[in-house]
Amino acid sequence: MSKYDFPQDLSAAQIALHETRAAYERYAKDLPWSAEPMPGWEGEKQLHSVYRSGKADSPGYTEDQAAEVTRFRARLLELSITVSTHPFWDSVEAGDRVGARMALKHAHEPAKDEA
């Protein structure tokens, strides 16, 4: 149990921020490596290594992909602002705000049993 009594709307915004970030990361994982069409490249073999860096050609994002990325980023910005500017933070002593913020980020996690 947290020593902070977070308001429900603040907790809900933090959970929505976690969920939106995770959804964005899942979505972005399958996007082309470049938003704009770009030629691929292959790096030179490095001394003492068999690894060769490189990328295939990127077709760039489709209009739908670009719109979805824009939607995700706007929602993430909105939720970040909601969480960071919530009036609750004014009720926390300045020296304790970082600790309170860290506690909020983990408040949704199940409590660990103390054995």
Tell me the domain boundaries of the chain. 8-32+62-106
- pLDDT, one tens digit per residue, over 8-58 is 999 999 999 999 999 999 999 999 999 999 999 898 877 787 777 888 999
Residues 24, 77 contacting (CB under 8 angstroms): no
The DSSP H or E segment spanning 41 is strand 41-42
pLDDT at site 11: 96
Q: How confident is the model at residue 115 (pLDDT cuts 50, 70, 90)?
A: very low
More confident residue, 44 or 5: 5
Q: What predicted TM-score, i.e. pTM, was given to this entire model?
A: 0.82
- pLDDT, one tens digit per residue, over 61-82 is 999 999 999 999 999 999 999 9
Q: How far is CA 60 from CA 26, 28, 29, 37, 40, in A?
A: 18, 13, 14, 4, 12
Give every CB contact of residue 84 below 8 A, 6+ residues apart in sequence.
none
